[in-house]
Chains A and B, each alone.
Chain A
């Protein structure tokens, strides 16, 4: 079942094409990662897919419905989004921020969702802490917990939803990177769908069913990790020489890059 699909979408800023004629379809239960160099248009593509910005051309459909016809509230029941560097104004506690994922719903059931989500991101003891006093990585985990709660609430009426994440693990230490990565996988195992912008190709390859490679606004590769994370791709897109090895048994690729200049 196709959860999210985009048909020839183009997003422009002035004369620059930030996203250039991108088409894709994401199936239920998949973890898809979106990779590419800085400025490739990954965040812009994610914003277009979330309904936050309207593409200049093309269509985005969520569950087969044109995204522009769904209002913000209907969208919020079906998909949750974690933006890059969210900052919280005012001294809200971690629990208050995570509770915002639940909308108008309250009560013991919602509190149980919040507890479960905070446990999942290893912030159980942080409920009553002021979120802005946490470290960048801890704040990022709290926002991930908010996304989890929004999807738990949405699942009650709409079934498993869609997670759109913009660099969800960029500020995290190694252990919490793996925790969040595992959490994405678990969400997909339960029928949910994940699209995440990631910088770390090794984690992208480790958790993804499919990798999308974006370069200068264009989608230049779309396939399983083995087919997309290749030395040719690293050279063409990231301008680095690479030693791509493979971890047995499924043959997940791993990357040991070195700068091109050093190769000359």
Chain B
């Protein structure tokens, strides 16, 4: 393996400046999240200045001239969308972080390696085929189906990319490409047999958007987020050990097969739930952990909780931008995350050029 030579010892700057200040890191991220949520609540086609927000939320009595309309906008449009952006951002960022830990590589993004496509295919199939089997499909069916789709892809990908405890990044990316292409083709097939209403829904999955946000949708993915938050502490130490290799993790006391199963299920649940309500939104799972590793280092104990906070910030920021740049129309949020994320991915790819053998 070739590698850049380290800088002369004397010229070294400190790595990961905030690695040893978890409270500060999480505090800053929480403040950012609150700021992002406030701007998302106030900015938009129907502008609600910050000073009218407390009344709109119902905390204080407001100006009768505007308060009715403001309350309607905030409670039935802005807040469900904020709630969903926060949850989807947290799910995608933490899902990406865990996927990268599992594959021991920062390039593994759920969107790029086909996990999101698998989830979208399963969700689309549920809409198109499920409608024929069952007249009124429960709302909970979608995240569950998307979870199953993501699970099949993640488990298959692990088998393809990992051999004897070592992950081949070339096999991961190329195998993911093939799986993503297959899932995309099958989704295309579904488009042919879908009726008009179903077609609108299926197209939505392939583009990715938060525009259909409702409280009901947000409620269906809440259990997935809670499961992720609860399971995270059980996983972080073992993901660190896995960075040394599967054999080393075992020697250090980790039940590696169990860890892999739990990680695959968690990633699939996170990505599946996110895709079920917002479609395929790429690169969030790669930008967030990458930025964080530069500042706080790769230790998963802090990285995963930080991703759970920074993911929502990125998602709220991108969604607010998507709503205002071409107002009153709206840009698909996936375009913005790709503009931010693709260069990050390319940068990481170039850095690993030697390792991939290109």
Q: Which residues of B contact A93 (CB under 8 A)?
A: 15-16, 297
Query: Is A101 part of the binding interface, using a Cβ–Cβ cutoff of 8 Å?
Result: yes
B243 contacts A92, C-beta separation under 8 Å? yes
Kindly report which residue of chain A lies nearest to residue B298, judged by CB atoms. A90
- Sample (22) of A-B pairs whose CB atoms are under 8 Å apart: A52-B250, A72-B255, A75-B251, A75-B253, A76-B252, A80-B251, A81-B251, A87-B1, A90-B243, A90-B298, A91-B297, A92-B243, A92-B298, A96-B240, A96-B297, A96-B299, A100-B240, A100-B244, A104-B237, A125-B9, A128-B14, A134-B6
Q: Which residues of B contact A129 (CB under 8 A)?
A: 6, 12
Name the prevailing secondary structure of the B interface residues: loop
Selected contact of B247 from candidates A52, A92, A101, A103, CB within 8 Å: A52
With contacts defined as CB atoms under 8 Å apart, how many contacts are there between chain A and chain B in the complex?
84
Task: Determine the distance from Cα of A50 to Cα of B250 in the docked complex, in whole angstroms.
Answer: 10
Whether the Cβ atoms of B1 and A101 lie closer than 8 Å is no
Smallest CB–CB gap between B249 and chain A, Å? 9
A93-B297, A104-B237, A129-B12 given; 20 more Cβ-contact pairs under 8 Å? A52-B247, A75-B251, A75-B253, A77-B253, A81-B248, A83-B247, A83-B251, A89-B243, A89-B244, A90-B293, A92-B243, A93-B16, A96-B299, A100-B240, A101-B252, A103-B252, A128-B14, A132-B3, A133-B5, A133-B6
Q: Is there contact, CB below 8 Å, between A87 and B15?
A: no
Question: Contact at B106–A90, with CB atoms within 8 Å?
Answer: yes
Taking CB atoms, residues of chain A closer than 8 Å to B237 are: 103-104
Residue of A nearest to B5 (CB): A133
- A101, closest chain B residue (CB): B252
Contacts of B255 in A (CB 8 A): 71-73
Q: Which residues of A contact B254 (CB under 8 A)?
A: 72
Q: In B1-48, which residues have CB < 8 Å from any A CB?
A: 1, 3-6, 9, 12, 14-16
B104 contacts A by Cβ under 8 Å: yes
Q: Does A86 contact B (CB under 8 A)?
A: yes
Q: Which bracket fits the contact residues of B?
A: 20 to 34
Give, as a whole number of angstroms, the nearest-CB distance from A151 to chain B.
12
Tell me the complex Cα distance, A148–B342, Å.
42
Smallest beta-carbon distance B197→chain A, Å: 46
Contact with B along A47-75 (1 / 0, CB 8 A): 10011100000000000000000011101
Do A86 and B253 contact each other (CB < 8 Å), given the known contacts A130-B15, A132-B3? Answer: no
Given A90-B298, A130-B15, is A76 in contact with B251 using a C-beta cutoff of 8 Å?
yes
Closest to B3 in A: A132
Verify if B245 is at the interface (C-beta below 8 Å from A): yes
**Measured CA separation A71–B252 after assembly (Å):** 11
A88 touches B251 (CB 8 A): no
Contact, CB under 8 Å: A73 / B253: yes
* Closest residue on chain A to residue B300 by CB atoms: A90
Contact B6 A91 (CB under 8 A): no
Q: What A residues does B6 contact at CB under 8 A?
A: 129-130, 133-134
B168 within 8 A of A: no
Is A97 engaged at the interface, CB distance under 8 Å to the other chain? yes
Chain A residue numbers with a CB within 8 Å of B14 are 128
Is B105 an interface residue, CB under 8 A from the partner?
yes
Chain A 206-246, CB-CB to B under 8 Å as 1, else 0, gives 00000000000000000000000000000000000000000
CB distance from A142 to the nearest CB of B (A): 11
CB distance from A153 to the nearest CB of B (A): 10
Contact pattern, B 307-336, Cβ under 8 Å of A = 1, otherwise 0: 000000000000000000000000000000
B1 nearest in chain A by CB position: A87
B241 at the interface (CB under 8 A from A): yes
Interface mask (A126-142 → B, CB under 8 Å = 1, otherwise 0): 00111011100000000
A193 proximal to B (CB < 8 A)? no
